[in-house]
Structure 1
Amino acid sequence: MSPRSASVNEELRRRSQARLLEATVELVGERGYEATTLGDIADRAGAARGLVSYYFPGKRQLFQTAVHRLMHTELARALEREPVPEGEGSGRELLARAIDAILGLARDRPRLMRTHMAGILAAEGFIQCAEQQRLAGLLREVVVRYGSEDPDEDYRLLRALLMGAVVAVLLPGAPMAPGRLRAELFHRYGLDWELGDPPGEEPPGGQI
């Protein structure tokens, strides 16, 4: 049997990592972060326990990478959905979709996103990874399409506003409704309520 080519090996590595990341998202969503072990993740992914440590230096890095991958794929799916308007309207529609995609994760996967935000705010802080860079690239492209004259600064502002909105949705004991936060963000960027994936015909209180 001839040895596998470098491209085949790379594809196998990519698939192994994807299974581990998907298993991490599933298990933490089901059980919580503390109740999920690296062995559990390896078992769910059908991988050897040592493979987890080979790809990721620790549980926190694995988890943040897994959530960033989820955010990246959900955002990409929303941005690529047809139809996308042409011309000036495309940037506004894409920004609306980006806001809705991130708020949708906070609404639909509260345990996962609450754990993610708690980890970022903890001592370990924000962990850079390839999936985070892909997510950042998509958000930066959105602000470029929106018409930003300073994409780097406007990307950082959008990221901060989205993170703040996610925290507000998930705040224990005092959560805010995603629709109200959506209305505030849409007002901030001058977006019409019907853009993206509106949760209702009108914003809370009628007008943005």
Structure 2
Amino acid sequence: MVPRSASVNEELRRRSRERLLQATVELVGERGYEATTLADIADRAGAARGLVSYYFPGKRQLLQSAVHRLMHRELSAGLNREPATENGRELLARAIDVILGLARDHPRLMRTHMAGILTAEGFIQCPEQQRLASLLRDTVTRYGSTDPETDYRLLRALLMGAVVAVLVPGAPMPMERLRAELFQRYGLEWTLGMPPGAEPAPPGV
């Protein structure tokens, strides 16, 4: 048998890692964090249990990477959807809508993700998070930022706050209101991006 080349082995490792990340998103979304074991994830991914430990130091790190991968993929798709545009205001509106949409469409997953960030594990740097950061940094640059790193961090903080507000058990903020506040903060018209419906009336009206 001819030994596999280094490039083939690298591609196989990449695919195995991608399957583990996808399986994590699916299972935590279906069952919750505590009810999902690393063995469950390996089984869903069709991978050996040892591969999980090879790629990730623990379940929390695996979950953060998996959610950051989902966010990166959804954000990339949203920014590049038709009609294609180079308009920075439109791109920022799309970015806001994508992140809020993840909170709406994957509440259990995103709630678990945010809870992990706010606990002792904190914010974990990983390749998926770096890809997400690169997209958001590029978006604020296209929007017109002269200090993309600072403005990226501010946008990240505002989006994280909005996601938490959407997901607070028993007292969620309406997504439309949070969208309106973010759009006002950045001077964006309601019709940009992927508007969910009529613009909410200002408070007190």
Shorter-chain TM-score: what band? Answer: over 0.9
* TM-align CA RMSD: 1.1
What CA deviation, in whole Å up to 9, does each residue of 1:164-186 have, x standing for no partner? Answer: 00000001111001111000000
Match of 1:204 among 197, 200, 204: 200
* SS of 1:57 mapped into structure 2: coil
Unaligned ranges ≥5, structure 1: none
Identity %: 81
Hey, what does 2:39 align to over in structure 1?
39
Q: CA deviation at 1:84?
A: 2.6
Q: Superposed, which structure 2 residues align to 1:14-25 within 5 Å?
A: 14-25=14-25
Match of 1:172 among 169, 174, 194: 169
What CA deviation, in whole Å up to 9, does each residue of 1:96-117 have, x standing for no partner? Answer: 0000000000011000000000
Q: Superposed, which structure 2 residues align to 1:107-118 within 5 Å?
A: 107-118=104-115
Distance in structure 1 (CA, Å) of the matches to 2:195 and 2:202? 13
Matched, 1:136 2:123: no
Distance in structure 2 (CA, Å) of the matches to 1:136 and 1:165? 17
Q: CA deviation at 1:36?
A: 0.2
TM-score by length of 1: 0.95
* SS of 1:126 mapped into structure 2: coil
What CA deviation, in whole Å up to 9, does each residue of 1:133-165 have, x standing for no partner? Answer: 000000000000000011010000000000000
Match of 1:156 among 133, 153, 157: 153
Distance in structure 2 (CA, Å) of the matches to 1:178 and 1:3? 54
Question: Is the 1:119–1:125 contact (alpha carbons within 8 Å) kept by the matching residues of 2?
Answer: yes
| 1:76 maps to amino acid | S
Unaligned ranges ≥5, structure 2: none
Q: CA deviation at 1:206?
A: 7.2
Distance in structure 2 (CA, Å) of the matches to 1:11 and 1:76? 22
| 1:155 maps to amino acid | Y
Hey, what does 2:74 align to over in structure 1?
74
Hey, what does 2:48 align to over in structure 1?
48
Count of residues paired in the alignment: 203
Distance in structure 1 (CA, Å) of the matches to 2:10 and 2:78? 28
Match of 2:190 among 190, 193, 201: 193
Hey, what does 1:147 align to over in structure 2?
144
